[in-house]
Chain A
Amino acid sequence: MTSEQVKEEKESTDEVEGREGEALLEVEGVTAGYGDIDVLFDASMQVNRGEFAVLIGPNGAGKTSLIRTIDGVIDPREGEVRFDGEEVTHLSPADMLAKGVSTVPQEGNIFTDMSVQDNLKMGAYTYGGPIEERLELVYDLFPILKERSDQEAGTMSGGQRQMLAISRGTMVNPSMLVLDEPTAGLQPNLVTDVLEAIQTLKKEENLTILLVAQTENAIPMADWGYLLRSGEIVVGDKADRLLDNELVSDLYFGG
């Protein structure tokens, strides 16, 4: 790393710490991992209420681990996670959902042995309101799910699975939707469809979105972005400036 890069990294980090706006999710100095091996080191980020934030980084950077730490699957060794001003660091995934954070994992994100409709109903397992309204919402967004409501989810195509996974995460009417690479492995036209659907959801449901992106496609529609590298948040900046960042270019898009 050149001295210029280090300086830029420091400036970016300072900018993260000095963010304005009403924070909904705050991750502060989180160190976490699996067993004795840490994969996240002193990671800090903030997602403001109503914001669309992206988290980018190369393979193995720790993006999924950070998501799993936020949603309670991984218990961090150090640091703090706050949601809506309340400390939620050691809460279980079910407790995080009760707080309003719904996660759509990258893999294993649907109940393959269950029908499409049952998947959606399981997404609304803790939802207290009328489930029909939520079903209508996701069926309007992804009409194919209504057509295939009785189909076993495991028999659906990759794109349809992602639509179902996003819908499942939305059924509970969360305040924040965390999506781990929802467009991974999809055809380009489907990537656009899925990202537009997420954008629509954000507007219609007044959702806060944190999206882990494998490609740069999601960055233009985001408000704020973070770059995670080797378990550390090294850049936090407005999304429209993210693609111009030298570290992002060097580390993520190959310079």
Chain B
Amino acid sequence: MLGSILDGIILGCTITLGGLGISYVLLLQNYFNFTGGTFFTLGAYLTFAFLGFIPMGSFPLVTFGPGLIISLILAMIAMGLIMTVADKLLYRPLRERNAPFMFFYLTAFGMLFVLRSIIYLVWGAQLKNYVAGIPRYLRGPLGISITWDEIFVLIATVVIVAIVYFFQYHTKLGKGMLATANNSELAEISGIRNRDINTLTTVIAGILTATGGVFYGLTIQLRPMMGFTLLMAMFFAVVTGGEGAILGTFGAGLIIGITQEFGSSLLQMLWDATGVPIQMGGYKATLSFLLLVVILIFQPQGIFKGTPLEK
């Protein structure tokens, strides 16, 4: 059971990165990007594709080498480009016409299905791994163990969140994004060009989403539905963490990750005692949804409102 909490923290890291991508789009472009989960998957598969051309090499302790990092960087660039093109072709015309938000949601839904079909078409439905090697474990007390790959994901996520936080609140460009999110017309007449900010938002969202997908693929496996199954958890992190709140999204991501892993393990233990053969692992998204509903009822302004994590 303690191990499932650790698993939850690692899952929470990938949820956070995907959630931050969705959060940026929500903050600056005012719609929930349902395609976020599929971009998460696409980023992971693009890294897999680049890895086919780049020798993996090896780092100490972990199962991967510099090849994965280079492939991830290439995937980040590719995702930034893909999301920018999608934004220019699909969303910008809607923004410029002040189209109803339903149009944005429909477009995002359409994109989701198109991209998912492409992923199935190109990479098939089989599970894939970045590496064939066996992960090395770091074993702690009480039977707790964690792979070095997972330690890498944890540390890298903390570093990425810290960089994003610093960029957002301590750089001129980051504050310009906040200004645009707060009052886009005033931002424009203050010289902060909405178009540039929207492009930047899309690129950042693409980078974060791709990274989240790769980290998920590194710690679990690559599956065409991996992002979609995490979509509810990502929405949970965005909504309950507070719109645009970087630390809040991280905190909520960890909460929902732990809830999914620890909650499903606990339920499994309870079900096993009844003798009814049900795999509770299939109900993780349901746990996310139930927790989301409970929090929206009792703490609709977000879990961290009024705390240092509200930013």
Contact = CB atoms under 8 A, between A and B. Distances in A.
Contacts of A114: 175, 178-179, 182
B176 interface: yes
A94 B188 contact: yes
A251 B161 CA distance: 59
B186 interface: yes
A108 B185 contact: yes
Nearest to A165: B186
Interface string B167-208: 000001001101100110111111111000000000000000
A118 B191 contact: no
Contacts of A62: none
Contacts of B190: 97, 122-123, 125-126, 168, 172
Contacts of A123: 190
B186 A111 contact: yes
A105 interface: yes
A198 to B, nearest CB: 18
Contacts of B176: 122, 125
A125 B175 CA distance: 10
Contacts of A113: 178, 182
A105 B182 contact: no
B97 to A, nearest CB: 11
Nearest to A126: B191
A94 B191 contact: yes
A98 B191 contact: yes
Interface of A: 71-73, 92-94, 96-98, 102-103, 105, 108-114, 118, 121-123, 125-126, 168, 172
Interface of B: 172, 175-176, 178-179, 182-183, 185-193
14 contacts: A73-B188, A93-B185, A98-B191, A108-B186, A109-B186, A110-B186, A111-B182, A118-B175, A118-B178, A121-B172, A121-B175, A122-B190, A123-B190, A126-B191
